[in-house]
Amino acid sequence: MRARKKKHGAERIAACAELLIESPETLFENPNAPFDRERPIHVEIGCGKGSFACALAAAHPEINLFALERVSDVACLALEKAERTKEGRPDNLRFIIGDAAALPSCFPPHSVDCIYLNFSDPWPKSGHAKRRLTHRIFLEKYQTVLKKGGVLRFKTDNAGLFDFSLEQFAEMGLATRDLTRDLHHSPLAENNIMTEYEKNFSEKGFPIHAVTVEF
């Protein structure tokens, strides 16, 4: 995702400070600490402009959700969206500006219940495979932080990335369920929360692939 440098980006992010975890490594002590009570920990990686994270947190008050985004100008838009939700600032959602590679230094081992990967960058060139967020390199990081029995929920419009990801899950010996290559015309559509990219791609007629991976 490309974004132009936001004017006054630092000030705009500072205005949403209550929703931002400035030092994610402090979560390692207790990832529930930023919230008013303990709940299962969910993490969205690459939250983009934040509409999925805001909708998920509102629909599931029983979870504590961290939305991670590595591009600060994009995270700024997500923070502002959360800050301005009509229900008021969500008490079960916090944002981290950072890279998925740092997850094991932010979350204690086996502390996370669920990770969401929505429309991750496909990195189609084979030389860039290690950058894909479903590459084994990243799956091993997710395995470190996810609880035994925790899950990864993955959605994409990109059939090539989906096939590659299924191979990686199989190579790691991870079981999959709820696999569909046309999410919006499957029984799973009922509880689906759409992302910005998902709305865009599905309006153009692209089928959405989805799978849940068990760790």
Ligand X SMILES: C[S@@+](CC[C@H](N)C(=O)[O-])C[C@H]1O[C@@H](n2cnc3c(N)ncnc32)[C@H](O)[C@@H]1O
Query: Which residues are at the interface with ligand X (CB under 6 A)?
Result: 1, 45-48, 68-71, 74, 99-100, 118-121, 195-198
Tokens of 214: 């068990």
The CB density around residue 18, as the number of other CB atoms within 10 Å, is 12
List 91, 113, 121, 178, catalytic entry: 121
Q: Where are the alpha helices (DSSP H) in the chain?
A: 9-14, 51-59, 72-83, 103-106, 136-145, 159-171, 196-203
Between 88 and 205, CB nearer to ligand X:
205
Between 151 and 161, CB nearer to ligand X:
161
Smallest distance from ligand X to CB 116, Å: 8
Smallest distance from ligand X to CB 70, Å: 4
Q: Closest-CB residue for ligand X?
A: 46
Rounded Cα distance between 41 and 67, Å, is 11
Q: Is 91 noted as a catalytic residue in this protein?
A: no
Neighbouring residues of 9: CB distance < 8 A, sequence distance ≥ 6: 72, 73, 76
Q: Give the rounded distance of the alpha carbon of 157 from its chain centre.
A: 16
Between 74 and 115, CB nearer to ligand X:
74
Residues facing 93 on adjacent strands: 65
Smallest distance from ligand X to CB 37, Å: 27
Catalogue the active-site residues. Answer: 121
